[in-house]
Amino acid sequence: MSTITNYSLMFTGIIQETGKVYQVCSQGLGCELILDVSDSLYTEVEIKSNISVNGRALTILGKEISGEFYLLRFYLASTKVAAQYERQKKLNLEMSIRLGEEISGSLFYGVPSGYCRLISKENLSGGGIKIEVLWQNDFVQYLDVKDLVCLDGVLLIIRDMAKLSLMFDIYPETVNLTNLVEKEIGEYFAIEIDPMVKKIGQILAKKLS
């Protein structure tokens, strides 16, 4: 178990709730993303604090209550990412770890290591699902069965692997709390691997180049 002793921007991959896209507006070269969240999350977060939105760390730039909607404002430099968010009914949300908070397990930065494509989805008894994703990335060679990764911000354990694909069993509780089940075959997840594994992979790649 580790204790966070600074203001590092880090996440656990344990999703607390989901939010909905309220509006996306063009702004400069990017766009403003406005999310409708729960009143409890709205009350708890502050302007300039950070939350993970589908696995991507974003800074809250504004807050507003409009009727029954509790709105948080963000800026996205990528209109492509904004378009991906708009297509989903809900988005996975997690507040960044707070000063002094004790954490057991892996920590993530909310910076995707890449994007993987859903190539198989199967319903399991009891309400869970089994998925397989294709990730054509050199980082795959540094992963192994039982390693932890985040898909769209959700912490998952690799159950099996092929040359360029990863397989996961997603429990009913995770299915109900997140948006993972919404993805259709051919659509993409943002994937983030353990930062330590990523760093080692980058060092080895540099030595071999």
- The residues near 42 (Cβ < 8 Å, ≥ 6 apart) are 63, 65, 70, 71, 72
CATH number of 114-208: 2.40.30.20
The two tokens of residue 118 are: 């859903």
Where are the alpha helices (H) located in the chain, listed in sequence order? 39-44, 79-86, 172-177, 195-208
Residue range 25-68, pLDDT digits in tens: 998 889 999 999 999 999 999 999 999 999 999 999 999 999 99
Q: What is the pLDDT of residue 205?
A: 81
CB 11 within 8 A of CB 92: no
Band of pLDDT at residue 104, cut at 50, 70 and 90: low
- DSSP secondary structure letters along 124-161: -TTS-EEEEEE--SGGGGG--TT-EEEETTEEEE--EE
Query: Would you tell me which CATH number, out of the four given (2.40.170.20, 2.40.30.20, 3.30.70.100, 3.40.50.1820), belongs to the domain 9-98?
Result: 2.40.30.20
**Domain 9-98 identical in fold to domain 114-208:** yes
